[in-house]
Structure 1
Amino acid sequence: MCYDVSFHTNIQLTLDIFPDLADNRQLELNSDALIHVEGHALPLYYIINTKDHVPQLTNMEWGVTPLYVKDPKERTARRSGMINARSERILDDHKSYWYRIRNNRCLIPVSGIYEHRQISGWKNKVPYLVQLKDTPLFFLPGLYQESTEVDTLTGELYQEGTYTLITRPANSLMAQIHNSGENKHRMPLFIHHEMAKQWIDPELTEAGVREVLNYEIPAEELSYSTVYTIRGGKQRPDHQEKDAHWEWAALPPLGNDTPLNAGTQQSLF
């Protein structure tokens, strides 16, 4: 699945790609603080959706609120399990929550995503930054939800916007990187700019939605680089940002998960 993303770019790039985009952000976020965003923290982020046939840039929190849960505290707790939506369940699983909100389509602007690779005998997985080639910014399709919630401290009602990021079966490259864990061999639904514009078009037919959901980006259109640990507060020894390349000693090439000339993992942690 995909729980880690990077938005380390100028928001003006999004406005350039969508020149008719209404900028309805309630908050300006610090780009440097978004080099790594972890979904389980339910962070506030940027998304693009369409309101009254006008695309808009707004702020929403990652992790859809499950409206079938009535208790406000339990709703929040359940959101960590609503960070990703499997593409296969959006149109064809009529019992799925994603089917219920299938028409609430949105885009998440990112500069890259992070995924972890397991190496035989290594305690810690190796993080990779994966991006679309030849573009500093791309858009991951998602679904969003707007709801009325209750402040558990004051009892006051407020409007909340939340979203989920869509994943699909991995292509040949991502299957070699995301090679372990309960949700191994999955990846975000990578799409190009023109397909992203179609995704938030309210006139898009079900056949058009299915075409986007079934799209598998060719492996050669993705770039990838190993990085230092992205989770936790440990600083990089070279003091560079989290999205900068980090050379892992004895790291085997993709497709071979046995360390090169080493029996143990280099000491990073």
Structure 2
Amino acid sequence: MCYDIAFTTNIESIFKYLPQLQANLDIDFDPTWHKIGMSYPQWPVITNNDGLKLQKFTWGPVPKMLDTLEKVKRQRQLFLNARSEKVLENGTMWNAIRHQRCLVPATGFFEYRQIPGWKNKVAYYIKSKEQDIFFIAGLWAFSNSWDVDKPTRIPTFTLLTRNANQVMTQIHNGGDNAGRMPMMLTNELAQRWLQPELTDTDIREILQYELSPAQLDYWPVNSVRKVKPDDAAVIAPVTYEGLPDLVV
């Protein structure tokens, strides 16, 4: 699943791709080459509330079922991502909030490739080939914040994922959630995703979109699950001797 993302440019760059976005000069977000979902960071998120607005939400909803601090610690990470197939499945949390749609801007994300016979998986950095920033479909919700004695309600979000395309199937090929990738949208679909009047049929059509492998750049990097400076070295290409080629 997509638990590692990057936003390596300045926040103002988003306006180039969404010119109708309402200016919010108060938002403060420094470039980052890696954030892991399990740290539940704040992230720039775009919603449509009387116009497109850019705000900071916390990554990782806290469902009502997680009603104690211990439950939150054990299970919150399960809600960092949401399968796009569940959005229109009756009775699911994601179906209940399907009208609370958002966009999660990113410049790249990381996944791990399992190589037969290798002890360690190989990390890859993946980005759009066509533009510096791309948009991932998301859902948002107000959640209890359990990092204080008296929980307060905070805006949170989850990233949608879908079945991986040909290249991402080869990269994200291990673990319980192998064969998934972020629900990356074209700029046109991203703007449509935020339209408040979407029907379930409209939502289904958008979620059927699959990004072509030809629209992605990707290369091996060092593991991002180790403490290191948050700078461009995180996404520097790395050569692994004997690494099998990806079939394109």
Q: Assess same fold via TM > 0.5.
A: yes
1:171 aligns with 2:165: yes
Matches within 5 A, 1:100-111: 100-111=96-107
Letter in 2 for 1:207: T
- Residues 185/198 of structure 1: CA separation in 2 closer, same or farther (3 Å cut): same
1:84 aligns with 2:76: no
Task: Write the distance in 1 (CA, Å) between the matches of 2:75 and 2:96.
Answer: 17
Task: Give the C-alpha shift of residue 208 in structure 1.
Answer: 1.6
Give the structure 2 partner of residue 18 of structure 1. 18
Task: Give the number of equivalent residue pairs.
Answer: 248
Task: Write the distance in 2 (CA, Å) between the matches of 1:90 and 1:37.
Answer: 25
Give the structure 1 partner of residue 53 of structure 2. 56
User: What is the percent sequence identity of the aligned residues?
Assistant: 36
Residues 67, 75 of structure 1: 8 Å contact kept:
no
- Residues 101/253 of structure 1: CA separation in 2 closer, same or farther (3 Å cut): same
Taking structure 1 as the reference length, the TM-score comes to 0.85
1:134 aligns with 2:101: no
Task: Give the C-alpha shift of residue 76 in structure 1.
Answer: 5.3
Task: Write the distance in 2 (CA, Å) between the matches of 1:186 and 1:118.
Answer: 14
Give the structure 1 partner of residue 34 of structure 2. 36
Residues 23, 58 of structure 1: 8 Å contact kept:
no
Residues 130-177 of structure 1, C-alpha deviation per residue, up to 9 Å, x if partnerless? 111121110001100024557642x3x633011000001111111011
Residues 66, 78 of structure 1: 8 Å contact kept:
no
| 239-248 vs 143-152, which moves further | 143-152
Task: Give the C-alpha shift of residue 249 in structure 1.
Answer: 1.6
Task: Give the C-alpha shift of residue 95 in structure 1.
Answer: 1.8
Letter in 2 for 1:162: T
Give the structure 2 partner of residue 183 of structure 1. 177
- Residues 251/148 of structure 1: CA separation in 2 closer, same or farther (3 Å cut): closer
Task: Give the C-alpha shift of residue 203 in structure 1.
Answer: 2.0
1:246 equivalent among 221, 238, 241: 238
Residues 6, 111 of structure 1: 8 Å contact kept:
yes
Residues 151, 158 of structure 1: 8 Å contact kept:
no
What RMSD in Å do the two structures reach over aligned CA positions?
A: 2.3
- Residues 28/240 of structure 1: CA separation in 2 closer, same or farther (3 Å cut): closer
Task: Write the distance in 1 (CA, Å) between the matches of 2:187 and 2:98.
Answer: 20
Q: Gaps spanning 5+ residues in structure 2: where?
A: none
1:98 aligns with 2:94: yes
Q: Based on CA coordinates, which of the two structures has the bigger radius of gyration? A: 1
Taking structure 2 as the reference length, the TM-score comes to 0.92
| SS state at 2:184 partner | coil
Matches within 5 A, 1:100-249: 100-147=96-143, 149=145, 152-153=148-149, 155=150, 158-233=152-227, 241-249=233-241
Task: Give the C-alpha shift of residue 15 in structure 1.
Answer: 1.6
Residues 237-262 of structure 1, C-alpha deviation per residue, up to 9 Å, x if partnerless? xx95111211112111115xxxxxxx
- Residues 73/181 of structure 1: CA separation in 2 closer, same or farther (3 Å cut): closer
Letter in 2 for 1:81: L
Letter in 1 for 2:33: I
Residues 33-66 of structure 1, C-alpha deviation per residue, up to 9 Å, x if partnerless? x201111111111111111x31111011111110
| SS state at 1:224 partner | strand
- Residues 19/233 of structure 1: CA separation in 2 closer, same or farther (3 Å cut): same
Residues 7, 110 of structure 1: 8 Å contact kept:
yes
Letter in 1 for 2:246: L
- Residues 25/205 of structure 1: CA separation in 2 closer, same or farther (3 Å cut): farther
